[in-house]
Amino acid sequence: MKHRTAFVIPLLVGAAMAAHLLTPAPGLAEGAPPGPPPASTPSAPDTLSGQEPATAGATTPEQAVRLALDRLGVHHGRYALAVEDLTSGRSAAYGSSTGTFTSASIIKVDILAALLLQTQDRGGRLSSAQRQLASDMIRVSDNDAAQKLWIDIGRRRGLDAANARLGLTPAHAGQSGPWGLTRTTAGDQISLLKAVFTQDSPLDAASRSYLRTLMSAITDGQNWGVGAAGTPGDLPVLKNGWLPDGTPQPWVVNSMGIVERAGHTLLVVVLTDGQPTREAGIALIEQAAATAVETLVRTP
């Protein structure tokens, strides 16, 4: 039985593109990020570009979040975080305000959202085969299923058209290469989560409910991540992605989803790269997400 998460380069990808991809060990990731990966030397936490560093005299919730994350100390690689409290309307961000990260498997939520939007436009429904592929793509991160649905949506052109309606910025448009190497930002992933989990969306209620159901049923071993910021014992509602380059080099590890905490509903995204191991990336994501959410909901 083939491993669900082994990355397969489609036959339609030219040899020149394939030359830029290394095949990872089975079950580890979807591909390799373009160019040399970031160094994994521990670095000081980033703050938003153009903003003053957080201080002990923080006067806004976002300042309080940045101060709390600064206090976590040094970390490997880099990360960007975005959180939006749907209950209070507050939001906070941390890390580069414009820097992009390799999407890895979190793009699978975007692929399914595009497919559902196209299906709505036709006034139709997903076929039974498409529903099985969607389940495999989200719940167990099956890359073969993602590739088939990528073709169904019209590949890059279809994704770009859907993202323009889902509220993502042009940072996602016109990119070349396999879907797993798409570049993204924490802010754009928050926009995607808003399209999935709020009524302010081109996706209808049935499509949003279907996405939420799949993101609530992630297989054991893949349900780590931003769910750590939620109320203990709550079912994680998320999608994660992870990606080494097939050599002893740093990892990309990402997580995005929705959590409940202290009576608040929050959208949370953490993107990382330059992580020495997958486990180190997971630990950074969970610590940063939990710290940011707790600070945002507790700050007066």
The backbone torsions φ and ψ at residue 170, rounded to the nearest 5 degrees and listed phi first, read -65, -5
Strand partners, 273: 78
Higher local confidence (pLDDT), 80 or 33: 80
Q: pLDDT tens digits for 104-116?
A: 999 999 999 999 9
- Split at pLDDT 50, 70, 90, the class of 19 is very low
Three-point CA angle 196, 197, 203, nearest 5°: 45
Q: pTM score, two decimals?
A: 0.82
Residue 15 corresponds to which tokens in the numbers above? 């040899």
Residue 171, pLDDT > 50, answer yes
Please give the pLDDT value at position 176.
76
Residue 185, pLDDT > 80, answer yes
CATH code assigned to 45-298: 3.40.710.10
Q: Are 285 and 272 within 8 A, CB to CB?
A: yes
Please give the pLDDT value at position 169.
86
Residue 10, pLDDT > 90, answer no
pLDDT-above-70 percentage for the chain:
77
Distances, alpha carbon 264 to alpha carbons 44, 84, 86, 226, in Å: 30, 10, 7, 15
Residue 58 corresponds to which tokens in the numbers above? 């923080």
Please give the pLDDT value at position 300.
87
Higher local confidence (pLDDT), 187 or 170: 187
